[in-house]
Amino acid sequence: MMQRRYRSILDLKINESAKALAFSDAELACKLTSMGVLPGAVVELVRLSPFGHAYYIKVDGIRFALRQEEASSILLEI
């Protein structure tokens, strides 16, 4: 069995950060890179929305709210 060599924002704990490696969805990659989420950037999970449908992250000091689909497409270093 092959082991996963990455994780996503969904795997992070509050205030935990990790380096972005790549994106699993090409369309979302275009949107996220235009927002400033680039491979090599450190992504921190700031908090979750009350019902867990949005993930508030910080990248290079800028805060973003991402839907679960967007957050799960960012592949992070283990």
Interval 28-58: pLDDT, tens: 999 999 999 999 999 999 999 998 789 999 9
Q: What average pLDDT score do residues 16-21 get?
A: 96
Residue 22 lies in a domain: yes
What is the longest distance spanned by two Cα atoms in the chain? Answer: 38
Residue 48 lies in a domain: yes
Residue 38 lies in a domain: yes
Q: In what order do the strands lie in the sheet with 42-48?
A: 62-67, 54-59, 42-48, 17-23, 74-76
How high is the pLDDT of residue 78? 84
Q: The domain containing residue 34 runs over which residues?
A: 9-76
How high is the pLDDT of residue 1? 58
Residue 19 lies in a domain: yes
CB 28 within 8 A of CB 16: no
Confidence of residue 3 (pLDDT cuts 50, 70, 90): low
The pTM (predicted TM-score) of the whole model is 0.88
Tally of domains in the chain? 1
**Whole-angstrom distance, CA of residue 75 vs CA of residue 18:** 10
